[in-house]
Amino acid sequence: MAQETITTISPITGKPMLTRQGLSISEIPSLLSASKKAFSTFQKTHPLAKRQEIVRKALDILLSKTDELAKELTEQMGRPIAYTGKEIATAVMRAQYLLKVSDEVLSDSPGEAQEGFKRFIRKEPLGPVLIIFAWNYPYLILINSLIPAILAGNTLLLKPSPQTPTIAEHMVSIFAEAGLPENVLQTVHCGNNATLEALIREPDVRSIAFTGSVAGGIAVQKAAASRVVPVGLELGGNDPAYVRPDVDIAWAAEEIVDGAVFNSGQSCCSIERVYVHESIYEEFLEKLVGVLNGYKLGDPLDKTTHLGPVVSAKSARTIAEQVKDAEDKGARNLTPNVYSEGSKLGETFVRPEILADCSHKMRVLTEETFGPIIPVTKVSGDDEAVSLMNDSDFGLTASIWTKDVETGQKLAEQVEAGTVFVNRCDYPSPVSSRASCHF
């Protein structure tokens, strides 16, 4: 099989911007041999304290490069330059938390006491770990897997999205500068499914972490199914928000617009369904329109831009198909016409859409959109809202908006999602939690 050339297409211009040579199946043995050799010495010569020191140095270097890395990230995936640097800062905060808890998490756990015996559970590194990570928040997503694996003493193969191929390269370089031994981190460029599946099936790959689409996660799981290996999957979302009648309507509208369209809606935890109590329904819609009137769609390298392009022309077409499906089935499109200049930049510059009177017969409420769409549905009360929020194949996050925080917390217990927020949404807290409140 000829070596694969991977081309990154700019979401801003629609033109090729860089290429990388993809891994071939014949190169897999040498890749894994280098990783195994590094692992055999790394865990012995670098105790936890030394690994922690390297991670701290790497985080300092990463922060020092924020401006240049933020600009590059904007160019590769399209998020406005006003916001890309914040992802790096958030990733560092996440890593600092993981550093903070690493002593406790990685220490021996005592067993049941019994005279004449000493029992304990020791956490041992596995070996080469394959991390496959997405383009939409690549630094934050990578940090979530990279830092725990390094602190535990593993070696890593970093497989970035072809859309943001340089992120893995930068992290390998940064950690090398911080003192990490050679081949503890390696970059794997791969766009060929057969090659990636062959790598996943290799017995020397001792753990796999994947963050990306549902289809991609299922493909990884299938490829790994022929052997016993830990596979961690963080996949798509279709996250709901419920606006109760007692809420501060103007404030909630601002927060929900931000939670729905930030990063052009390209977050697995962005708001993709909004359920609003019937008593405030029309007023809430008016406030949504007013909020969107203040947003600017345009050149992501302009610091005044709120919304840049979506990642690809294919993504733009999928979003347009969902909007048309909703309109054909009775949705009202209330989007203010303030985006004409931005949309002239190209097909990928998708305007945010407010769709009123939506139902679960529409794709926009049942599928992941991954775009700046705000579908709104009227509900009669808490029971109907919770029922509709739970009517989904997804379950990453959800949010409840109310002045009655106690009731919001009780409703959160009924919502089937990994994280349920009260008066907050799409918030990447360094500490994972089941519920969160913001007063």
What domains, with CATH codes, occur in the chain? 5-108+121-234 (3.40.605.10), 239-437 (3.40.309.10)
* pLDDT score at 439: 33
Q: How many residues does the chain have?
A: 439
Q: What percent of the chain has pLDDT over 90?
A: 91
**For residue range 217-264, what is the model confidence (pLDDT) as tens digits?**
999 999 999 999 999 999 989 999 999 999 999 999 999 999 999 999
* pLDDT score at 435: 34
Q: What's the pLDDT band for 428 if we cut at 50, 70, 90?
A: confident
Residue 89: pLDDT above 80?
A: yes
Enter the pTM of the model. Answer: 0.94
Higher pLDDT, 263 or 339: 263
Q: Which distant-in-sequence residues (6+ apart) come within 8 Å of 269 by Cβ?
A: 237, 239, 396, 397, 419, 425, 426
Residue 437: pLDDT above 50?
A: no
What is the average per-residue pLDDT within 337-363?
Answer: 88
Among candidate residues 70, 87, 428, the one with its CA nearest the CA of residue 270: 428
The CA distance from 9 to 52, in Å, is 37
Catalytic: 368?
no
Determine the residue type at 41.
T
pLDDT, averaged across the chain: 94
**Tokens found for residue 22:** 């993809």
What is the average per-residue pLDDT within 86-93?
Answer: 96
**For residue range 123-143, what is the model confidence (pLDDT) as tens digits?**
999 999 999 999 999 999 999
Would you say 78 and 194 are in contact if contact means Cβ atoms under 8 Å apart? no
Lowest mean pLDDT among 48-62, 359-373, 421-435: 421-435
Catalytic-labelled residue, pool 27, 87, 197, 234: 234
What is the average per-residue pLDDT within 405-425?
Answer: 96
Q: What percent of the chain has pLDDT over 70?
A: 96
Residue 433: pLDDT above 70?
A: no
* pLDDT score at 2: 63
Q: Which distant-in-sequence residues (6+ apart) come within 8 Å of 76 by Cβ?
A: 8, 10, 11, 17, 135, 163, 164, 165, 166
Would you say 17 and 6 are in contact if contact means Cβ atoms under 8 Å apart? no
What is the average per-residue pLDDT within 390-412?
Answer: 96
The CA distance from 73 to 80, in Å, is 9
Question: How many angstroms separate the Cα of 73 from the Cα of each of 66, 155, 157, 163?
Answer: 10, 26, 21, 10
The CA distance from 80 to 82, in Å, is 5
